[in-house]
Chain A
Amino acid sequence: MEITDFSQPIRQSAKGIIVIFAFNLLKFFKKFLVFFIAFGIQVIRKKSFGGVTPTMMYLGLIAVIVLILIIAILKYFNFKFHLSKDDFHLATGIINKDNTIIPKSKIQNVYIKQNFLQQLINVVSLKIETAGDKKSEIEISALDKPTALLLKKKLFNKISVESEETQHTETEEKQNVFFRVTPKRLLLEGLSQNHFKSFLLIITFGYGIYNEFKDFLEELELEKRVEGFVNLDETDLFNLIITNVILVIAVVLFSFLFSVAKTFIINFNLEVVENQKTIEINKGLFNKISLSLTPSRIQNLVITTNRVKQYFGLYSLSVKQAMVNVKQQKNFKIVALEKEQLNYLINKLLSDYNLEGKTGKPKPYFVLISALGMLFFIVLANALALFLFGIGMLWINVIYLPFAIFYVYFEYKKAYYIISNNFVTLGSGVIDTTTNILETHKIQGLKLKQTIFQKPRNIASLVISTASKSVTIPYISKQEALTIYNYLLYKVESQDRDWM
């Protein structure tokens, strides 16, 4: 294997042309597909439309594809990057030349990704992300794997050398595969997910399809038949109920399958590798992703689990960084961790994490607000049911009410906060149990909120913002909120620690 020299401007692998071409082609067709189909059908049907014959159309299509290919080739030739001592340089642009320089110390993430096409032609893409906005990220779409790994290492090494002085023996950096998910655990993870979301998705999807075919069904005079059906005796009514039950079971099964498939595709071969300073996550079936986490770049940690998952010992850990877009944010989730592995990982990412400190719960006012919210929901649901199905539908409250009570009960039960020396830990969730951890020195701003209804009750909420998200400690006594407010401000302002 030849060692690539990054100090001179180099191009990506020649296979990059294929990747750029395929990507642009896809983008083009996505934009104009509807137009093409509409136009194409017209032309083929009428043999000519606005003076355009089918042959002309095909020729035009080929011309467009060739044009995209030429652009891809030009893009490839005009895409050069190199590394200097502290910066990454990139020159792009066919007509408008762009020169991007990213200081290594400002790099937040380096991903290595491989989509299906890239897997076929055996290249990877490397993405460099800073904490800036979305436009500032750079993607090199085709590198062979050793080069990409080397580049990533070079980009990261500088950072660690700069931030810490000791142990820059890069050569003997030990790589320890700390966690590898087994198919069994992934299956459990998929099964134990919160199925409400996929359930709703499938219901809406089914409803959409039903609406599409409504006219068709009406043509079949199905309604009349169904009406005749209902008017018949009890056995048929029984049949109808059976059909409905089977339908519901089918939807539930389908949503299970959907969740499991999704979990498998995203987290296939999930692997957490422990480096000296960083943690590396590798995963994915069609889109292989490899990304590194530097502890100093982490703003929040979110741990999720639920009753069923707790039973199987399944915990998920999401890492939130500054200004990472939502799509990317999802990649920073490690699923199906065991309790000990989770704790180990947390300790690795946050030094001396502990739960000692001031613990508290929201005031009972929380229950009031939660119950009011539920009441609103029930009234709305009832109004809808009345409007759509008539008075007979009110029995649905038999299901709603216990659900609402459980909801409020668990929401209150799971809400708590712990203010320890260097950390803020927040618990929340209803069906899921969510734990939110942030380091006090990463706080960007604090906000105390109090409505006029809360004023006589002496209750306030505290919003703690970091660069990645805001968390709220809801409805605690004002005194307590102020104490925490003052304490956190003191923590941020007295320490001269950078937030990233």
Chain B
Amino acid sequence: MNFTNPQIQIEDLPNIEDVVLKPISKSYLKIIILNRLAFYSLILGAVIGLKYLIKEDGFQDNFWLILIGSVMVCIANFIISVLAFKKRKYAVRGNDVIYAKGLIVESIITVPISRIQHVEESRSWLARHLGLSTLKIFTAGEAGSDLSIKGLQQLEAKGINDFISARVDGNN
């Protein structure tokens, strides 16, 4: 029987903190900004629209307060989204894919390549114009272990896709 059981030094294991994470493409910031702006104009438009719909005094008197409040919330949200953009980073190691994101809630997700069921590369209309791609990585089960890396350079996404696909096929 060819069986060995070497002791594992926990300190010697590959450390997730040592991985140099790569930021996603800068152009993706444009998409975030455009998406956010569209969203804000929708909200502010709705607030302004309400001014003509609700004739109640309580609302009319405080309309400017409500509007300023909404604008403030939008600005705060915008700043956070832009700052959070810098936190979106990814890395591909030999055996897993790592994705980090989030400003207020920071998270690092790792999916071992051997557990990946399939990979999908999707491109929205806007992303196509900027040469970007979203890479979606699916694992088994409904549990939240699926990954979606947005704003990758198209070539980069294709490269990762090919690499993972080859590894997944090779394993089976």
Contact = CB atoms under 8 A, between A and B. Distances in A.
B109 A482 contact: no
Contacts of B145: 444-445, 447, 465, 470
B49 interface: no
Contacts of B110: 445-447, 485, 489
A467 B109 contact: no
Given A466-B141, A470-B145, A445 B10 contact: no
Given A450-B106, A482-B15, A323 B142 contact: yes
Contacts of B16: 448, 482, 485-486, 489
B107 A447 contact: yes
A452 B103 contact: yes
B106 A449 contact: yes
Contact of B108 (A443, A448, A490, A500): A448
A451 B105 contact: yes
Interface residues of A, number: 34
A486 B109 CA distance: 12
Contact of A465 (B10, B103, B107, B143): B143
Contact of B141 (A299, A449, A493, A496): A299
Taking each of A483, A489, A496, which has the highest tally of chain B beta carbons within 10 Å of its own beta carbon? A489
B139 interface: yes
Contacts of B53: none
Contacts, number: 107
Given A447-B109, A468-B143, A487 B13 contact: yes
A444 B17 CA distance: 20
A499 B144 CA distance: 17
A131 B112 CA distance: 20
Nearest to B100: A448
Nearest to B94: A493
A463 B112 contact: no
B120 interface: no
A426 interface: no
A469 interface: yes
Given A450-B107, A451-B105, A489 B96 contact: yes
B109 to A, nearest CB: 5
Taking each of B13, B95, B143, B144, which has the highest tally of chain A beta carbons within 10 Å of its own beta carbon? B143
A112 interface: no
A282 to B, nearest CB: 27
Contact of B15 (A468, A486, A496): A486
Contacts of B95: 489, 493
Contacts of A299: 141
Interface in A459-500: 463, 465-470, 482-483, 485-487, 489-490, 492-493, 496, 499-500
Taking each of B104, B115, B141, B147, which has the highest tally of chain A beta carbons within 10 Å of its own beta carbon? B141
Interface string A424-453: 000000000000000000011111111110
Contacts of B143: 444-445, 465-470
A490 B10 CA distance: 10
Given A445-B115, A482-B16, 14 more contacts: A443-B115, A444-B141, A445-B109, A445-B139, A445-B147, A447-B107, A452-B103, A455-B106, A467-B140, A485-B16, A486-B13, A486-B15, A489-B96, A492-B115
Interface of B: 8, 10, 13-17, 95-96, 103-112, 114-115, 139-147
